[in-house]
Every structure is written in C-alpha cells, then in structure tokens.
Amino acid sequence: MQSIESLLATIAVKRSVGSKENDQLLSFCETYARSLGYEVQSQPVPSFTWIGSLSFLRLAEESCTVLPSPFSRSCSVRAPLVFASQPSSLQALDASSSLLVLHGRLAEKPIDDETLLDLIASTKAKAVICLTASHASTGLSPFPLIRSAGFPIPSCYAPSSLLESLFQAKEDRLVVPLQLFSETEEHAGRQLFFTLPDSKPNVLVTAALDTPLHSPGALFHASSIAAILALMGCKPKPAVAWLLSNAQAYGQLRGTAAFLQAQVPHIEQVVSLTALGCRQSRLVYQSWDSSLATDLEKLGLEATDALLPRFASELPELVLTSSNQKLLGSVRDTQLDTSACIDLQLLKDQSTTIDELLTHCGRFE
C-alpha cells in the first residue's frame, strides 16, 4: 500500500476532464483499489471539454480583445451597454436587450456564490462582459469572474482599464458588436465506485478527481483523493462505499448526475471531502441534514459557514474540509493550487480523524 505522500504526488497534476492525465489517473486508481481487494464499478460520465480563444468587441473603429469565460457558449451579438458595479444594481434589472458590463465591487474576485450567479442570470442579458483587474493571489490580469458551467448567458472577461472606453460608448449610445469564440466537445468520461465484496454500504465517501483547466488542484481535490485511497487501505468498513467523481469542476456536477443514474447499493447519506491538509488549518465540517454531525461534535470538530463545494445529490450530506478559508479561497481553481499549500502531517492527522469517524461512530459499527 502506498503512502499518502506518494499518492498525493501522483494525483496532484493537471487533470481536467478529457485530458490524458485524467484518464491515466482513473486507470491508476482502479488498479490500486483492486489491489486492496475492492470491487470496482466504472460509471460512465458523459461530459464536455471546452476550448476558448481570443474574442472581440468593437467600439466605433476600435477592436478590443476579450476572453470567453470558462465553458461560456460562443455568440455573435450587437447591443447597447448597461452597467452594474454591486449586487443591488442587479435587482429587477432587465438587460434582455443589452450587453451587461460587470465592474467595481462585483468584479473584485471570482464569483462562486450561486445566489449571485442566479441574480446575474436573471437580468437575461444578451451577454455579460466582466471587467477584472489583477487576481489577488495569482496576479492573473484580467481573471475570469464567472467560471460556472451552469451559467446560462454567454460571458467573457477583459481588463478593467476598458471601463472608461465602455462608459464613453454608452454615452455615445453605441450599439456594440461582441463576438465570442469558444468550442465544447462531448467526452465519454467515467468515474469509479468502490465497495468491499458482499458488503451493503449505506454511506458514500466521495471527492472530485478532475480539476479546472490549468490548475494542479492539490487542495481541490488531490489531497482528498489521496486520503480516500489511504483510508480504503485501513480497517475494512463494509458500511462505506467510495466514489472518485469526475466532471465536477466549473459546477458541472456531471459526476453527481452519473452516480444517481448508476445501479448502486442503497446509499442513505454522503460524506464529501474537500481541501484536506491545508496549511495552518484544523478539520471542520458543514452539515446538510446529516446525522453524522453529532459524532463530529463528540470528536471536538467545529462547524463552518464557509461556501463549500459539495456533492449535491439531494441526500443528507456532510462536508469535511480545512478551516483556513482565506488560503483556500485565494488558490481555488488557479495555478497556485499546488502541493506547497499542503501540510503533509496535518493531512495524515485529518485522515486519521476521518478514519476514526468512519470506524467508530454508531452507524458504521
């Protein structure tokens, strides 16, 4: 059985859906699980790969370069501009005949809040232009503000220095042409579901295997995958099934949908692992109607109200993560999400605590 350090080193590589690395890691994890005596179900995950290229908007005779947001659809539209700099500006805003320009407070950091994304989508804009400056952690300038695969409006991002020119275009009552070039391709992916022979598991422990484009994804979620593989080699837990989900990045949640469609034992609740082992952290949790929260309180763990990625299967769910949300938020979905963010001893300690939870709390005995 490999050490958690070795497992982490193998997994913490760029591994977006459709990439060679993603396929290779699935094969590695499948072989590893079989070597531990697990039965393996390979669940098909129909998904998409995405490629975006330099795109353009025109202001009078000037052509300005923009970049499609991850998983944005392509578009070719002409419309006047409307602006929003804070969430209150979006309330009851009808932008159905306009291009919506997001700037100021709304464009300070990537938007992961589904409520805010829904509010932007409710404007029904023809397209969204996000004006961003320098990312606080990576220095990337501009950076993608919207990065959700489920966001329904074509969107792009451009330097915040473009704001003055766009204000002038509005004052001049220009109809602005915007053309976004992006392409999605179908990909016949898969994910892995592990159970012990002749077991009847009722709890699923899961983490996402894939990463966003260009991110090594050490905290999100290589450390959690490494912990799962290490935990599978500990004391057998017949009540537990394990899932390495795929096609979850950018809010696709295609792995969740594939799991719900697969023929699996009756699962009553989910334990999701995310961002384990983050430096200067302790293990914390978030509960969505999970009966396991009581057991965590007995272990001395604290709840967090941070906005956490979750499996979102409509089953009761417990998310276990690290407490240093400032560091987690600064590297999530970026090239800075490397193994340097991980304290290996802390990752081992957190894995031990999770093993204790899965071994000794009432429903697992």
In this predicted model, what pLDDT tens digit does every residue of 129-181 receive, in sequence order? 999 997 766 667 898 999 888 899 999 999 999 999 999 999 999 999 999 99
Binning pLDDT at 50, 70 and 90, where does residue 60 land? confident
**Both tokens assigned to 331:** 């590297």
At residue 288, the pLDDT reads: 94
The two tokens of residue 243 are: 């899932």
Return mean pLDDT, the chain.
Answer: 92
Give the pLDDT band of residue 56 (cuts 50, 70, 90): very high
Is 364's pLDDT higher than 50?
A: no
pLDDT for the residue numbered 360: 67
Mean pLDDT value of segment 236-254: 91
**307 or 188, which is more confident?**
188
Structure tokens at 359: 């071994």
pLDDT, mean of residues 75-81:
96
Task: Tell me the C-alpha distance between 179 and 162, whole Å.
Answer: 16
Give the Cα-Cα-Cα angle 35, 40, 42 (nearest 5 degrees).
Answer: 135
Please determine, for residue 99, whether its predicted confidence score (pLDDT) is greater than 90.
yes
**For residues 273-284, average pLDDT:** 96
Residue 362 has what pLDDT?
A: 43
- pLDDT at position 192 is 98
Run of H or E including 26: helix 20-35
pLDDT of residue 300: 87
pLDDT > 70: percent of the chain: 97
Residue 303 has pLDDT above 60, yes or no: yes
* Torsion (CA) 67, 69, 71, 77 in degrees, nearest 10: -70
Strands (E), 107-202: 127-132, 155-159, 176-195
Q: What is the pLDDT of residues 261-272, one digit of tens each?
A: 998 888 999 999
Q: Percent of the chain beyond pLDDT 90?
A: 72
Calpha distance 273→259 (Å, rounded): 16
Q: Which two tokens stand for residue 32?
A: 């590893």
- Does 365 have pLDDT greater than 60? no
- pTM equals 0.84
pLDDT band for position 47 (cuts 50, 70, 90): confident
Distance from C-alpha of 16 to C-alpha of 210, rounded to nearest angstrom: 5
What whole-number distance in Å separates Cα of residue 346 and Cα of residue 284? 13
What is the pLDDT, as a whole number, of residue 2? 86
* Most confidently predicted of 145-149, 174-178, 291-295, 358-362: 174-178
At 361, the pLDDT band (50, 70, 90 cuts) reads low
Please count the other Cβ atoms lying within 10 Å of the Cβ belonging to residue 55.
22
Q: Are 80 and 173 in contact (CB under 8 A)?
A: yes
